[in-house]
């Protein structure tokens, strides 16, 4: 027998042994992803669970929230679903073979609320068309209980009432720390008429850094539509946007566009890490035969290698 024939025979034996071993195994190690935005899994049974959360890396001091795992689209060769424990289950169709590709997302949530979340605590100033500074002239100022904006409480607030005749009111305060680029800069307010008023007020937030030689706006965002505002579960509203530069001072400018009385409760300003949605494209590889019986066809335990 020639050397080529012997090599061919040995190769066939090796392939047959590998296939037999894979069918008899109850644990299969998946393929390590080659990039941070994709995930490759090998299906070794007709229906199988995959632990995919460990393939996501949290942003900053956050962690991945299993309840936010979401399937963006479905493949045509099977169905993917999310289990209550945050694992991914893929059920292939009996006639399909080859691959299934779809997208999953998960959210990175903030866990450290002491060292990276900062509130407005000092240096409050208020300016308006009517006298608001210095404080002895505040009798004519449209805002009351102003110091609540820099108190340690998250439930007290300053109350502001103004109309278009009163122009705009500007509030500026210092944070208890320095927000980083990418952090959210914002204020928590309450205005029950935001969803019904015909003339939406204009809110503008500016960020500053106290070490600048002269006060310079680092970032700015104007909120002029309801879609710009986040409605919180406690009935309050959040005005926020991701900053591009470091900041430790916040300024809120409120402009009334209606002749009717505009009423706002301003709770506090803040800097906090943004909740980040992470996305991966998943590709599942599987064999055509789904009719076998025995241990080789039972749902198998799959381990995902953490690679970041």
What is the model's pLDDT at position 132? Answer: 59
Asked if the structure places residue 111 within a domain, the reply is: no
What is the model's pLDDT at position 228? Answer: 84
Torsion of CA 235, 117, 203, 129, to 10 degrees: 110
If pLDDT is split at 50, 70 and 90, which confidence band does 117 have? confident
Residues 192 and 212 in one domain: yes
Higher-confidence position of 172 and 305: 172
Domain CATH code at residue 221:
2.60.120
Residues 63 and 172 in one domain: no
Which are the contacts of 305, defined by CB distance < 8 A and separation ≥ 6? 29, 30, 32
What is the model's pLDDT at position 239? Answer: 93
Residues 64 and 128 in one domain: no
Residues 67 and 143 in one domain: no
Q: How many CB atoms lie within 10 A of CB 161?
A: 14
CA–CA gap between residue 275 and residue 273 (Å, rounded): 7
- Domain ranges, residue 32: 3-105+276-303
What does the mean pLDDT of the chain come to? 70
* Domain total in the chain: 2
Q: Of 24-33, 245-254, 293-302, which one has max mean pLDDT?
A: 245-254
If pLDDT is split at 50, 70 and 90, which confidence band does 10 have? very low
Residues 132 and 262 in one domain: yes
Residues 259 and 285 in one domain: no
Residues 32 and 172 in one domain: no
CA–CA gap between residue 242 and residue 207 (Å, rounded): 11
Look up tokens 């019986």; give the residue: 293
Asked if the structure places residue 184 within a domain, the reply is: yes
Residues 243 and 171 in one domain: yes
Question: Residues 168-185: pLDDT tens digits?
Answer: 788 999 999 999 887 889
CA–CA gap between residue 53 and residue 64 (Å, rounded): 7
286, pLDDT greater than 60? yes
Domain CATH code at residue 59:
2.60.40
Residues 141 and 262 in one domain: yes
CA–CA gap between residue 120 and residue 239 (Å, rounded): 14
CA–CA gap between residue 38 and residue 296 (Å, rounded): 27
Residues 181 and 292 in one domain: no
CA–CA gap between residue 259 and residue 162 (Å, rounded): 9
Q: pTM for the full model?
A: 0.54
């Amino acid at each position: 027998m020639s050397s080529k024939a012997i090599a061919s025979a040995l190769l066939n034996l090796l392939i047959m042994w590998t296939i037999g071993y894979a069918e008899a195994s109850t644990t299969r190690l998946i393929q390590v992803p080659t990039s941070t935005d994709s995930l490759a899994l090998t299906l070794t049974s007709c229906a199988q669970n995959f632990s995919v959360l460990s393939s996501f890396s949290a942003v900053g001091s956050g962690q991945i929230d299993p309840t936010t795992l979401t399937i963006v689209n479905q493949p045509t060769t099977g169905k993917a679903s999310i289990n209550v424990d945050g694992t991914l289950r893929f059920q292939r169709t009996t006639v399909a073979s080859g691959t299934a590709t779809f997208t999953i997302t998960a959210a990175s949530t903030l866990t450290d609320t002491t060292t990276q979340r900062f509130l407005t605590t000092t240096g409050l100033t208020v300016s308006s068309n009517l006298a608001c500074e210095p404080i002895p002239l505040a009798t004519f100022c449209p805002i009351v209980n102003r110091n609540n904006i820099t108190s340690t409480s998250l439930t007290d607030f300053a109350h502001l009432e103004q109309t278009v005749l009163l122009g705009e009111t500007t509030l500026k305060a210092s944070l208890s720390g320095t927000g980083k680029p990418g952090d959210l800069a914002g204020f928590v307010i309450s205005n029950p008429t935001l969803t019904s008023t015909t003339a939406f007020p204009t809110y503008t937030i500016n960020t500053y850094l106290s070490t600048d030689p002269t006060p310079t706006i680092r970032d700015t965002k104007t909120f002029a539509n309801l879609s710009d505002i986040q409605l919180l579960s406690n009935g309050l509203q959040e005005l926020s946007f991701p900053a591009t530069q470091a900041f430790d001072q916040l300024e809120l400018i409120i402009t009334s566009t209606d002749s009717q009385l505009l009423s706002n409760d301003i709770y506090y300003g803040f800097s906090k890490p943004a909740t980040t949605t992470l996305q991966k494209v998943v590709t599942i590889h599987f064999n055509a035969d789904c009719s076998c019986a025995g241990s080789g066809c039972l749902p198998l335990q799959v381990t995902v290698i953490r690679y970041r």
